[in-house]
Amino acid sequence: MSKKLTALALFTLILLFFLPNINAITSCTLNDPADSTYFDDGSRNLLVNVTAISNGGTNAGNITNVTITFGSVVFSNATANGTRTNVTAGATAIQADFTFTIASSSLSEGALTVYATCYNLTDATLPANSRNSTSRTYTVDLKNPAVTLSKPNNRQTVSVKGGGLVVFEYTPSDTNLGNATHYLNGQRYQSSTSGTTTTNITSGAINRFRSRYSSNNLSSQWIIEITDLSGRKTNSSEFTFKVFAQGSPEAQTVFVTPSGEVIKSPAKPKGKAITTPFFAGNTSGLLSNPFVWGTIIVAAVGLFIWYQNRKK
């Protein structure tokens, strides 16, 4: 009898070994968010999506459990509000999608290694009842960026030569800076980048924007807005400044002196006035014209000589 039992047990083991593991988890995929994603401290939640697939069979539809591991913290279906949102059953495979809502405030700050684990708990004795997804890196951000302005200083008058160039200097600080935006008089003027996916400003160092002025500017306001890669934003203080553009054109007043000199104010005299015909134009200045007085004197002397000769 014992030999029969031994043979039967051996046959059963061989049969189980060659039978397909119809309830195994064949894949576990962490779909969303993407790798290297940044999150703030709870003003928005982390929506995590996982897909579990097992090969088909009677109990394959019971893949109802997925856990998410953030660093050293594990969130199960219950604690992470995980729900199975979709199940697609088939003869050879079954797919279940899971969605998790996790408050980033429940996590520690910094870069965390994240992965999902998919289970088929109805067949816990099977060696392939669980599978881990590929790991990703998510960064939790708990701080706003900071920024200080340094040039031009508040209420400063900037004197620029010829080219009219004004350099705006600011110093941002954060662990995951995104981009900086320069505002002039409440309007967006220029930005360091078109998006917030990569860092292109330097933390703890002077960064610069530039603008050109072709004329004097009596009053302007400027601020810098810093956005980090998690979407957090900070505005600097508002500074007011003036621009004096040396060599800029100024309105000129043109007039003629009693001596006939042309004056263009504020420029220096350029030369003598051109005399006009005797009775042309404005006659209000005839009496102050030396040509007019010379003509009158010559005529008077001539008349006097003619009169004396006639008496003789």
Mean pLDDT across the stretch 15-25? 53
What is the average per-residue pLDDT within 2-20? 49
Percent of the chain topping pLDDT 90: 20
Write out the residue limits of the CATH 2.60.40.10 domain(s) in the chain: 20-140, 148-245
Reported pTM: 0.58
**Sign of the CA dihedral with 70 first, then 73, 77, and 82 last:** negative
Q: Regarding predicted confidence, which is higher, 63 or 15?
A: 63
11 vs 302, higher pLDDT:
302
CATH of 20-140, one of 2.60.40.10, 3.40.50.720, 1.20.120.610, 3.90.1010.10: 2.60.40.10
Q: Which of 4-18, 230-244, 266-280 has the lowest mean pLDDT?
A: 266-280
Distance of CA 296 to the CA centre of its chain: 80
When the pLDDT of each residue in the chain is averaged and rounded to a whole number, the result is 74
Nearest C-alpha neighbor of 179 from the set 238, 224, 144, 228: 228
Residue 23 vs residues 18, 26, 97, 130: alpha-carbon distances, Å = 14, 9, 17, 10
CATH topology of domain 148-245: Immunoglobulin-like (2.60.40)
Q: How many helices (H) and strands (E) does the chain have?
A: 2, 22
CB 53 within 8 A of CB 116: no
Q: Nearest Cα to 44, choosing from 105, 99, 100, 85?
A: 105
Q: Around Cβ 97, how many Cβ atoms within 10 Å?
A: 17
Q: What is the largest CA-CA distance in the chain?
A: 186
